[in-house]
Structure 1
Amino acid sequence: MLAALKLGIPLQLPYLSPAAHGESILTGVNFASSASGWFDNTATHFNVVGLTKQFEWFKSWKAEVLSLAGPKRGNFIISNALYAFSTGSNDWVNNYYINPPLMKKYTPQAYTTLLLGFVEQYTMELYSLGGRNIAILNLPPLGCLPAQITLHGHGNQTCVQSLNDVALGFNQQLPGVVDAMNKKTPGARLIILDIYNPIYNAWQDPQKFGFKYARVGCCGTGDLEVSVLCNRAVPACSNADEHIFFDSFHPTGHFYSQLADYMYSYAKPILLAPPNP
């Protein structure tokens, strides 16, 4: 959302918002469903909407855009829009590592391969539906999330290396998948946006980036609270801008603002360059 403001466009309405109809949808819509992932199985754990259903929403949005704007302008909007896949963390911390049958079925490497298959599947589906400017965010340092340190750190207050390793394994293989897709998507620009290093670097040296606290979030104890556990009845810190994380999983607005600046400066020259031949 902050990236949208950086680009000078309005915040995207959630697809299910009653206001997400008419002219308001022509500047973008947010199809995301919190706690979902690349793997639809991840969404079932929290009764949220997986990517398969999100793509059904996208198809409905596309049809409404074409109806509102007409074929020529509508297709221009669809092909010139910037699309972002920001997902994947839940596939690990809220599915694989809490799902013994899944851990028995897949080694971490095999599960990574499965997830990368979904990356290709959904990216190519978006391309087939008219998307041409597509950003894929890699995984953050999962072992540095406050909740994961609490749950898997065995009392240590540092990042959990085994969780960071699975994120790095995915991230190291992602460029090969994206490079292969770039070779078969004429007219497109497929890019990876790195969020691992900005978060990891800030965690390792928070003062350098203007923060005081990396280990705990602003909400409650900062160790484990997330989502509905952060509410009006739960105390929060006095200054969220001092924290990298707001809850035990998600960064603060102040950190997201820095991340948006970083991603914008990285993506702008790529998106202004000629598309794939």
Structure 2
Amino acid sequence: MDVLRYTAFSQHPAGGNPAGVVLDATGADSEVMQRVAADVGYSETAFLFPVGDDDYVVRYFSPRAEVSFCGHATIAAAVAHAERHGPGTMTLHTRSGRVSVQTTSSTCGMLAATLTSVPTQVAALPAADLEALLAALGWSATDLDPALPPRVAFAGAWHPVIAVRERARLADLVYDFAALRTLMSWRGWTTVDLVWRASPSAFFARNPFPPGGVVEDPATGAAAAALGGYLRALGAVPLPSTIAVFQGEELGRPSQLSVHIPEAAGSGVDVTGHAVELPRLALAGTGLAHLVGRG
């Protein structure tokens, strides 16, 4: 199995979120894909199964389990495909539904990819779940931004969205890995989207991912799309709107995600980013080792 390694939402190998990409996984079963993803060790590896011209079934595996949708691995797979077959539009059939991805040459001369998520959903976050979340994070209700109340949002996977008043609270993230993994696994949440609003169109984010065996994602496209749906549902941005999400700085892997939020309620959200291929050899000395959970 030919496993490519790309980092998404960065123009440089030292930034972004690394993903494994298998452009043709024909014949691989779940056990094989899970083993490969664990060996690769990134937060997700995408496995593509061709079903037609630029038409694929895709499955995503973290080191511990399969996930329904992964944004950064989608961006990585689209750029990897475009570098070998030319830019254009791909159709991906995920466990959550159909996702369209378009690759183009950006002004910097690199390929960029834009995914359009499945229709978004936003639901209430029960008080007991919020209390358990805050306890696992070591936060209190006074840390939260009252203008952006906690919700659970979906754009292919479910993510609680928790906004804080101050960036310092976001920067100081040390959480109970086991407690948060138990809560998230019980509720079927993929990551927790912790955000701070720096301006009307700029957000800083951190995304714990303990159900996948990963302490934190440096860039999370699925959560960024869910954030877009959340902001639209709350009327927190003018529509249509494009926001920037900055992530990964605390991990030494700075990432930038562009999120376009259409006006139509519940429609898919567009997430755009670059991706760059990484060396075939396992990465060393790049700060990735501490991302993988040991719990």
TM over 0.5: no
Decide which structure has greater helix share. Answer: 1
Normalising by the residue count of structure 2, what TM-score does the alignment of the two structures yield? 0.26
Tell which has more relative contact order, 1 or 2 (C-alpha 8 A, sep 6+).
Answer: 2
Q: Indicate the structure (1 or 2) with the bigger Cα radius of gyration.
A: 1
Structure 1 length-normalised TM: 0.27
Q: Whose strand fraction is larger, Structure 1's or Structure 2's?
A: 2
